[in-house]
């Protein structure tokens, strides 16, 4: 498993907890974070230490070109426990980090697609915990089925419809499909087949201006707000620091 996280999460204690589970991580740091090098990599990344964990540091400039409009440049400072630059090139990790925003899609699928706008029914803390775990377990099972299906069809999981997966799973339960068939019930296969038969178009690179809502009002803020989406192209440049960090001797663990 690879865990993605935004700035302010790259704390030594949290990093230790994540790596202690056996998971890898790809976190963004603040650009002024001091991460001295203990080794260099051929793709301009370098190794450093945060607490007792060895991490690989990647500094990159992201240039977003908007079709028929201006361009936007932003600098990223990423850390990862994927230290092999041959298996995990820096440019691929920078592109992968962009998928972090997909957590917003997951929230939408949990709150709107699965719950259909309904609120949790329990009236006790234990009951709420049970409902949340049930939702997350179901979501993880469906996402696993989707990932397994798309991996066998040489396509990306982004093209899979979560709504198709959810409705297919519901149909299997409501219709009690296959309960008097063989000893092995291929529910995941049914979900995967339905997903592959209704693939979505390839996801386009788009950008939409961020809009801050008025917390105390359900109405839109006054004035012109651009809510359009624009096609974009993205260029990634891996950089070494302006002042390259000096090689340091790693502390004893």
Reported as a single tens digit per residue, the pLDDT across 121-133 is: 889 999 999 999 9
Q: Nearest to residue 80, comparing CAs of 49, 56, 103, 104?
A: 56
Q: Does residue 185 have a pLDDT over 70? A: no
Say whether both 123 and 175 belong to one domain.
yes
More confident residue, 249 or 151: 151
> What integer pLDDT is reported at residue 211 of this predicted model?
67
Q: Does residue 224 have a pLDDT over 80? A: no
In a domain, 37, yes or no: yes
Inter-axis angle of helices 187-197 and 125-152, to 10 degrees?
60
In a domain, 119, yes or no: yes
pTM of the model: 0.73
- Domain containing residue 24: 2-102+230-239
Report, as an integer, the average pLDDT of 190-197: 90
Q: Tell me the CA distances in angstroms from 118 to 108, 112, 115, 173, one per residue in order.
A: 13, 8, 5, 20
Say whether both 93 and 122 belong to one domain.
no
The two beta strands, 206-207 and 230-239, are antiparallel
Band of the pLDDT at 243, cuts 50, 70, 90?
A: very low
Total domain count, the chain: 2
- What's the full length of the chain, in residues? 253
> What integer pLDDT is reported at residue 117 of this predicted model?
79
Say whether both 96 and 107 belong to one domain.
no
């Amino acid at each position: 498993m690879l865990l993605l996280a935004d700035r302010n999460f790259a704390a030594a204690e949290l990093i230790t907890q994540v790596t202690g589970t056996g998971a890898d991580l790809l976190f963004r740091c603040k650009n002024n974070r001091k991460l001295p090098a203990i080794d260099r990599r051929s793709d301009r990344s370098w190794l450093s230490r945060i607490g007792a964990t060895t991490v690989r540091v990647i500094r990159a400039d992201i240039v977003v070109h908007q079709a028929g409009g201006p361009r936007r440049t932003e600098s990223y400072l990423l850390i990862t426990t994927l230290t092999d630059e041959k298996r995990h090139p820096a440019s691929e990790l920078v592109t992968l980090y962009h998928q972090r925003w997909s957590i917003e899609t997951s929230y939408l699928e949990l709150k709107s697609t699965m719950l259909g706008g309904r609120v949790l029914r329990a009236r006790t803390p234990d009951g709420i915990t049970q409902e949340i775990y049930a939702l997350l377990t179901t979501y993880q099972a469906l996402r696993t089925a989707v990932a397994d299906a798309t991996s066998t069809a040489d396509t990306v999981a982004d093209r899979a419809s979560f709504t198709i997966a959810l409705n297919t799973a519901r149909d299997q339960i409501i219709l009690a499909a296959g309960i008097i068939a063989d000893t092995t019930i291929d529910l995941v296969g049914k979900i995967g087949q339905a997903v592959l038969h209704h693939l979505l178009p390839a996801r386009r690179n788009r950008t939409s201006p961020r809009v801050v809502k008025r917390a105390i009002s359900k109405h839109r803020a006054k004035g012109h707000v651009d809510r359009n989406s624009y096609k974009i192209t993205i260029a990634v440049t891996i950089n070494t620091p302006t002042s390259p960090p000096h090689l340091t001797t790693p502390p004893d663990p």
